[in-house]
Structure 1
Amino acid sequence: MRLVRLLPLLISAALAVPALSFAADQYVPLQQRMSPEEFKAAGLDKLSPDELKNLDAWLSGHPKVVTKEVTKTVDESGKPVFYPSKEKAGPVQARVQGEFAGFNGHGEFTLDNGQVWKQADSTRISCMTSTNPKVQIRRSLLGNWMMAVDGCNDTTSVVRVK
């Protein structure tokens, strides 16, 4: 009766031992993982054979360091997507660089934070001409971006191009 209770534990242990030895067998020594130039550039050629063996032994017992990857999101046409739809992006507050006299239906606006936005519709809106006016760009309820410029009484739809 006792053997029946221990059977799942014994089976688990029997399966775990080969898995652990398989993981340990997977370590590849530094000299095989690096080109001779990389090995020398890292200064590893200055280690004695015993020092190199000890370093390899230490590395084999420690998991690889996971690095953070930066992924750029693009749409179907390959154009960059700056704010994926799942991401909650807050409003952009900056200044338009240079003169601003309104929206002409195809304008492109460079902001002092480096972003570039383009008018998404053909609406023409005349505004008072101003230099480096404050701008606020925020999401509308439908998910598109709306641009409001100080000194202009109307907003227009924009898309980010840079």
Structure 2
Amino acid sequence: MRSVFHAALLSAGLLASGIALAQQAPPLQEQMTAAEFRAAGLDKLSADELAALNQWLQRRVGEETAVIAAQAREEGRKEVVEKNRGFFHFGSEEPIQSTIAGEFRGFGKGRRYTLANGQVWEQTDGASLAGVRRQDIGVRIRPGAIGGWWMQVDGYNTTARVERVE
């Protein structure tokens, strides 16, 4: 868990204003799905307790970002970024295999795809796969070489750039 935390902070530190960016991160309740928020027991916190937790996390992220940014400068940016790619995706570089729940009607920018595992992904590029109508189609989502994620459905070679929204 600590390495995932450091990987996320490292990448934020590489940005021109890493600390400022870290301090602007959305609160936990916006970063988690409602189910994840409940499963972690965070829905039981009062508004003041939740605000205090979010403030602590923001401060911690800022402190860790400064440390990681200094390490990144020492080790060389390219090497560190390559080693830690996928940080925006919860530290995981493992491909996701599931099915798209319900009907799949092809790719289109801005479309949302709900997977059987509960994840929701939104297409961010203009890839197109028109005329397709498949029910509960198999899907593979894999990390890209320099960040980002790519979705491909069973039986088709077209890939679409996606980002997880839930």
**What is the TM-score of this pair, normalised by structure 1?**
0.48
* Higher RCO (C-alpha 8 Å, min separation 6): 2
**What is the TM-score of this pair, normalised by structure 2?**
0.47
Q: Which one has a larger percent strand, Structure 1 or Structure 2?
A: 1
Q: Which one has a larger percent helix, Structure 1 or Structure 2?
A: 2
Larger Rg: 1
